[in-house]
Amino acid sequence: MRPEDQDRTDEGRSRLTDLDRRLRDAQARRQAALKPRGGALGGDNRGVGLGLRVAIDIVAAVAVGVVIGIALDRWLGTAPWFLLVFFMLGCGAAFMSVYRTAMALEAARRQPESSDGSAGNGDGTKEQGRGGAA
């Protein structure tokens, strides 16, 4: 009886490890399929979507600068000095956000080649490889 029992548990164990492996594979496949593409870029990162995104970023940054500048000028009666300063800062912020978008896009473009394919999620932020840990 003993050897047979041993045999059975061995077979059982090997089947279990096999099942384990297959489960892991299936899970990895599913994770890869479910993974949102675009990552830090936020959804659609090609064509019109990206263009609109960058355009809105620029306009928003400059607009916030101009509004703050005009408000400060009106409050302190220093027109047009604060407007000039904050317009410049707004432009700087706009450049900054476009630069960041471009860097994230570049990182996302380069990443799929370097990764092993199981985590090709195009997550262009600095914390690469975090997607696998869960």
Partner 1 sequence: MAGPLEQFEVKPIVDINVGGLDLSFTNSSAWMVLAATVVTFFLIGSMRGRALVPTRVQSMAELTYELVANMVRDNVGSGGRPYFPFIFTLFTFILFGNLLGLIPGSFTFTSHIIVTFAMAAVVFVGITIIGIVKHKARFLRLFLPAGAPWWTAIILIPVELMSYLSRPFSLAVRLFANMTVGHLMLKVIAGFIVPLGVFGLLPLTGLVAVYALEVLIAIIQAYVFTILSCIYLHEALHLH
Residues found near partner 1 in the complex (CB under 8 A): 31, 34-36, 38-40, 42-44, 49, 52-53, 56-57, 59-61, 63-65, 68, 86, 89-90, 92-94, 96-97, 121, 123, 125-127, 130-131, 134
Query: 16 vs 63, which CB is nearer to partner 1?
Result: 63
CB of 18 to partner 1, least distance (A): 22
Query: 13 vs 63, which CB is nearer to partner 1?
Result: 63
End-to-end Cα spacing for the chain: 44
Q: Are the C-beta atoms of 105 and 124 separated by less than 8 Å?
A: yes
Buried b (16+ CB within 10 A) or exposed e, 63-88: eebeebbbebbeeeeeeeebbebbbe
Q: Which two tokens stand for residue 59?
A: 């306009």
CB of 64 to partner 1, least distance (A): 4
